[in-house]
Structure 1
Amino acid sequence: MYEPIPGLSTLKAFSPAPKSILKIAEPELVPFDIRHASSALITVALSCAFGLRPPSVLRPTLYSEQVRRHIAARLRQGEGMRGKDLCINSFHFHPQPNVESEPYSMFDVFGCVTVGEKNCAYMVKLRKSADTTFRMLSLRII
C-alpha cells in the first residue's frame, strides 16, 4: 500500500501489507467404501473422456447431463487418446460441509491423470444418493 510521506505531497512510500498466517487444512480420511465407489465412477468417466471407452456406458442415473455433455464435447474436439494408457495418479477427496443430516453426502474430488505423454488435471463433484451409490454432478478436465 502506498502511504504519503509527511511534508511531500507528491511522493509516496510503499509499505507492504502485513503477511497473514494461513491455517493449513488437516487432511480428512474418507472411509474406504466411499473412496472405492467414487473412484470407480471417476475412472469410468475419465476413460470415456479420453476416448478409451464409448460414452454410451455413462448411465444417466450415475452421471449428470453436464458430465455427459462435457465428455461428448471433448470427443468432438478430438481430445480422445485411443490406444494410449490411462493412469490416474491421484485422488484427493474433500467432503463438503454437512448441509444434510448424513456426513459424507457431497464431495469435491480432484487429481492428476496421465494419458500417454499428456498430463491433465480433473475436478469432480459427487453427491451420495439415497441408496448408497454416488452420482457425478460435474466434471472438468484441464
Structure 2
Amino acid sequence: MESEREIIDLQPGKPSSSRRQPINLNHYATKKSMVGSMLDVALFLSNAMRLKTVLGHGPSSQYYATLITLISISLLLQVVIGILLVITARLNLNEVEKQWRINQLNDAATALVFLTVVLNVFITAFGAQETGFLAVRSLRNPL
C-alpha cells in the first residue's frame, strides 16, 4: 500500500465516484519519460535512414557534407536526450531532495529536443531535393 507521501491527490473536493483515485506523480512522470524515449527512438531511426540515403547518394550529391554533419549532430543529441530521459524516469519525483535534480534534467532534455527539432528542419530543407518523393517526381517530370 502506498503512503500519503507517495501519492498526491490532484482532484480536490469530494470524489463523485468510487473509481476516482489520487494520481501518483512518480508513476505519471515515469510513463511520460518512457513515451518521450519511444518518440526519440522513432526520430533516431528516421535520421539513421536519412543518413543511409545520403551516404548512398555519395559525396557528389549537393549538400553532402552539410547533411552528414547535421544528421550526425542530430543523432548524437538524440542519444543524449534518450540517456537524460532514462535517468529522469529512474529518479523518484516524490522524494523532495531529488525534485531539483529531476527538474534540471528535464529542462536540459527539453532544450536538447528543441535544438534537435531545429536541426531536423534544416536536414529536411537541405535533403528535400535529393531524397524521397521530390527526387522521384523530378525524374518523372523535370518541370
TM interval, shorter chain, is under 0.3
- The structure where helix makes up a greater share of residues is 2
By relative contact order (CA 8 Å, sep 6+), the higher-ranking structure is 2
Instruction: State the TM-score, normalized to the length of structure 1.
Output: 0.25
- The structure where strand makes up a greater share of residues is 1
